[in-house]
Structure 1
Amino acid sequence: MAALPELQVSFWMDKAVTWGQATSPSIQLDAGRHLNSLRNFLQQLLQALQSMSSTTDAMKNLPFVGQFLGRLCWNPYVTADGECRRLLLQCVWRLYSADPHNAVERKANEWIQNLLCHLTSEEEGSVVYALKKHSGSIPQQYYSETFKKMVALLTEEVSRNHITSANSSERCSCDHLYAVSVACVPLVTCPLAAPLVGALLKRPVSCGCSHLSKEFIDAVSSAWLSKKLVMEDLAVIALWCQSLSSLERAILSLLESVLADQGSVIHSLETTVTDSLLPKASALHCHLSLVVNDVFRSVLMVMEENLAVRALIQVFTSCFLQIRTAQKPQFQENPPLRAFFPHVPHNLLTPLLTTPSDVPKEAWLKHLCWIWELIQEILCERNEGGEEEEEDEQGSQRRRRAVFETWFLLVQCGHWLDAAAELLVSVGSEESEPLLFLLTFYHHPTNRGHQNTQQNMVAREAWSHLRIFFLTHTLPPEKLSSVKELLSSTHSTNLVLHLLLNFAVFSRASTSSASEVIQKLQIEAGMRCKAAWMLSSVQHRLNRTDSLDARVHSRLKTLQDSLGPAHALNCA
């Protein structure tokens, strides 16, 4: 565009100097009379800045611009006018360099950050302070109204599509969005700034470069995790889409909240997981789901036997599947379900991701036998002969990966293990084989130095003894001692406890008989927390079942109460 007329530039520069901070009534009156003309000039200046390729280019062709904008931004009577303030802010954004190349641009960035912060500051020397001193207005009222107007204007500008220039010679709009994000860093915890923060996060990227500063992303992530910032769900999810490090912080925060105070989390795990928004984000964006599950894998490999971690993963997967099913009609372009589980043998997905509530109870055994057969095929897979040693090693790694992914999916779909444990209360010896195998593999995927056959023997021995206790209503001392020994074993505690609690909840024995068995087994304090997590897993599955058994729910509640208050459990 044509250069700004020299006389016009000189006139407005003189006015900016004369007005200063508008301390006298005559100057304030003069400023008020010229506001309309000033708006027109600022619009011309904005168009001139939009045609510049860089901040350096703008400073070279418009050497007056920095001093001119700075003086006007410090004038409370100019900035009180909504249109003038909008144009001033747009001009300032145009001078910000997302990637400064020299000292001039770095200095300009620093000046702009300070300028935007002082526009809403109440400190001595600021615009608000000057207004209070010279006009007697209430600073908090001015601050609040000015801040609301600034946020509204910025939010409108950020949300507009026309902010992206069609002229290839002009600077990318991401530079200006970047400038706004920098100015927002000290404001992210202010409730009034939430709409602007959300608009910045949800603004689609118009080119390959980042349009938000790292400082802004980090500040928003920290504020949201510490509950100092309230944003709509899609804004939070947009944050994670743009910053995987913020997503990882959110996942670790969820894990820490579950592990740090397990007693209080037990009965509210589903609420805790849902409130984290991670299941919803995973259901909407496949790549976020893959990141979440990768973190879960890493944690599970380190804390394989931690029941709180297992319960968290199971409830998370359940919430994820429920949200994805509910939202599927709205998101037809969502990838197929198998894309969310790329490492799992596909033939396992259907039987395991189908919930027990979607299968008639009389078909549970057949369904679990189907799962057992598929897992047996994976575990028994052998390399065919004739391969080179290097290929054998690669094949071995693939098989180990397949076994781990199979077990991880089993943890994610732990509701089927609860269903297997429930069936073991009533099935015969022959039907118990596949169910005991699944329970053993679930609790001992790496064997911990033991053989599978030994673990299966432990499971069968515990199951046999528990059948006697709960089905014949007798308590042979020698068998009771055997179960107590298995419960105290480092390597079989979780497996035996899982069986014991399901017998206590689902057997036909009287509640008093079940309590007597548990009392005589003398479950020590450290094990009570494990029991609480297992019972919460059972409760979660039952709560999602259409047909509720009042007797079972009553027994479950009695057992949970017998463990003591959640906050008093020793879950360390």
Structure 2
Amino acid sequence: MAQDSVDLSCDYQFWMQKLSVWDQASTLETQQDTCLHLAQFQEFLRKMYEALKEMDSNTIIERFPTIGQLLAKACWNPFILAYDESQKILIWCLCCLINKEPQNSGQSKLNSWIQGVLSHILSALRFDKEVALFTQGLGYAPIDYYPGLLKNMILSLASELRENHLNGFNTQRRMAPERVASLSRVCVPLITLPDVDPLVEALLICHGREPQEILQPEFFEAVNEAILLKKISLPMSAVVCLWLRHLPSLEKAMLHLFEKLISSERNCLRRIECFIKDSSLLRFALKTYFPYTSPSLAMVLLQDPQDIPRGHWLQTLKHISELLREAVEDQTHGSRGGAFESWFLFIHFGRWAEMVAEQLLMSAAEPPAALLWLLAFYYGPRDGRQQRAQTMVQVKAVLGHLLVMSRSSSLSAQDLQTVAGQDTDTDPRAPAQQLIRHLLLHFLLWAPGGHTIAWDVITLMAHTAEITHEIIGFLDQTLYRWNRLGIESPRSEKLARELLKELRTQV
């Protein structure tokens, strides 16, 4: 080991002198000498890396105070950079110099300088005159040669990360976490460059055995930003790894999606569905979003109403209500995620949630308490047990009046408003008021006499822009659901489309 150290020091001085000569001369003899010694210089770099990776950055500077000069001279020599193997070894040597936690301005400046050199290696898109002559002699144009060189070097680094050992250095030892962290820091300014995607992907899917995250936060942030702005395209597995490994990136992706939904046509469900699918955020496993949900509730909600006979929908909704009520109100066996997670899971499968009111209005018998509870919970998830019970009583009374009115030969818009309590001073934004408005809209679409007074009722109901948007959203959502479930009701569908078209001209 001592002899190896002496040999390395002697070699170090030799190559330092060589690089100085190569740097100062550009004669044909100098070029020929560079090419003649490249294989030996690469071997020296391999030995240097093997030594550097065993030391921390402070020890390296103490042992080799001019190491930065040596590596810089090599990095700016076009003939050395003409070999992707040289580029790769130089990158790893430079990564060894990076101080993971700089303690002073000198160490911070060194880190910045190293990142600049690394950026030069990976992103320089021009060749000096000497390399142009060299590549032309090989039958390549520089514009064709460099992209291939960069691509090969990137693929080589990505391969090493995936296999988690340094094939090129004939060692089976695992790649040190510090080196992976350094490489992620280096990649930050290079993420959107062509052909760098494989390296970014390899870093994201590279999981070590360390208890803490080793990739740099700024790397995650830069990759996430590039994905959201469509500057790079990565496989779904890599994107999911990014969001699961760095929750702030997942949060930003969610906020980005919400901003797009709010700024777009918020009442067009087909556009909303396209935005959501394009964002890739519903492609996680259900357990990722709802870790504490009971398996039985998840299984029943996963059933598509389209796959269940229509006559069994009511029974399925009752079963869903029982499971949700147990999760929300049973303190002994309740879900650890609380009422909000249960509610969010319920609306995630919106086709079940949105058919509750229709089932209540179509039932000639006593309104089932299970469906009344489900409706109250859907519109008021934050309500307590007592407040939800009051809402159930209120909804039951409105349903009774609507059932009587459905048998009447003559209906008036004002009578319907009065029965539903929509002409009172109650806050129209209250969940119970929104629930009742939606009951009225369902009644207008399904009750035979409701079609004749539909526009009059909506005119009385939509006395604010907010309520008008709410009604537009309800109608669009209803038409969308009918289409997905194959529900055929030509008269109701025609009425809904006419109302939707008229309302959209007013906003």
SS of the residue corresponding to residue 284 of structure 2 reads helix
Shift of 1:238: 1.0
What are the equivalent positions in structure 2 for 1:442-461 lying under 5 Å apart? 442-446=378-382, 451-452=387-388, 454-461=390-397
Comparing 412-421 with 76-85, greater Cα deviation is found at 412-421
SS of the residue corresponding to residue 55 of structure 2 reads coil
* Native 8 Å contact 1:473 1:509 kept in 2: no
Match of 1:334?
none
Shift of 1:21: 6.6
Match of 1:98?
100
- TM-score under structure 1 length normalisation: 0.73
Shift of 1:212: 1.5
Match of 2:116?
114
Cα shift readout 1:535-560 (whole Å, capped 9, x = no counterpart): 44434544543x45263655554443
Check 1:461–1:5 CA distance in 2 against 1; reply closer, same or farther (3 A cut): closer
Q: Distance in 1 between matches of 2:242 and 2:411?
A: 58
Match of 1:297?
none
1:435 to 2:371 alignment: yes
Cα shift readout 1:168-226 (whole Å, capped 9, x = no counterpart): 9x996221122221111112233432222111111112433433222212211222223
Match of 1:186?
189
Match of 1:313?
none
Match of 2:440?
500
* Native 8 Å contact 1:98 1:179 kept in 2: yes
Letter in 2 for 1:523: A
Query: Share of identical aligned residues, percent?
Result: 28
Q: Distance in 2 between matches of 1:477 and 1:110?
A: 72
Computed over aligned residues only, the root mean square deviation of the Cα atoms, in angstroms, reads 4.1
Aligned residues: 492
Q: Distance in 1 between matches of 2:504 and 2:341?
A: 36
* Native 8 Å contact 2:181 2:216 kept in 1: yes
Cα shift readout 1:323-368 (whole Å, capped 9, x = no counterpart): xxxxxxxxxxxxxxxxx334x6x66555445443343211122233
* Native 8 Å contact 2:455 2:499 kept in 1: no
1:30 to 2:30 alignment: no
Shift of 1:228: 2.7
Match of 1:59?
61
Q: Which residue of 462, 465, 469 maps to 1:523?
A: 462
SS of the residue corresponding to residue 509 of structure 1 reads coil
Gaps of 5+ in 1: 291-339, 382-394
Q: Which residue of 430, 446, 452 maps to 1:513?
A: 452
* Native 8 Å contact 2:269 2:480 kept in 1: no
SS of the residue corresponding to residue 526 of structure 1 reads helix
Q: Distance in 2 between matches of 1:207 and 1:380?
A: 41
Q: Distance in 2 between matches of 1:457 and 1:561?
A: 35
Check 1:153–1:22 CA distance in 2 against 1; reply closer, same or farther (3 A cut): farther
SS of the residue corresponding to residue 224 of structure 1 reads helix
SS of the residue corresponding to residue 34 of structure 1 reads helix
* Native 8 Å contact 2:417 2:423 kept in 1: no
Q: Distance in 1 between matches of 2:221 and 2:455?
A: 55
Q: Which residue of 223, 228, 240 maps to 2:226?
A: 223
SS of the residue corresponding to residue 258 of structure 1 reads helix
Match of 1:276?
279
Match of 1:173?
176
Check 1:553–1:197 CA distance in 2 against 1; reply closer, same or farther (3 A cut): farther
Cα shift readout 1:8-46 (whole Å, capped 9, x = no counterpart): 433322221111176333322321222223223222323
Q: Distance in 1 between matches of 2:194 and 2:218?
A: 19
Q: Distance in 1 between matches of 2:337 and 2:284?
A: 26
Match of 1:80?
82
Match of 1:11?
14
SS of the residue corresponding to residue 430 of structure 1 reads coil
Q: Which residue of 350, 361, 366 maps to 2:315?
A: 366
Check 1:209–1:58 CA distance in 2 against 1; reply closer, same or farther (3 A cut): farther
Q: Distance in 2 between matches of 1:446 and 1:106?
A: 50
* Native 8 Å contact 1:487 1:496 kept in 2: no
Match of 1:533?
473
Check 1:252–1:86 CA distance in 2 against 1; reply closer, same or farther (3 A cut): same
1:549 to 2:488 alignment: yes
* Native 8 Å contact 1:53 1:171 kept in 2: no
1:486 to 2:422 alignment: yes
Letter in 1 for 2:55: S
Q: Distance in 2 between matches of 1:226 and 1:130?
A: 34
* Native 8 Å contact 2:166 2:175 kept in 1: no
1 or 2 for the larger relative contact order (CA 8 Å, sep ≥6)? 1
- TM-score under structure 2 length normalisation: 0.81
Comparing 493-502 with 176-185, greater Cα deviation is found at 493-502
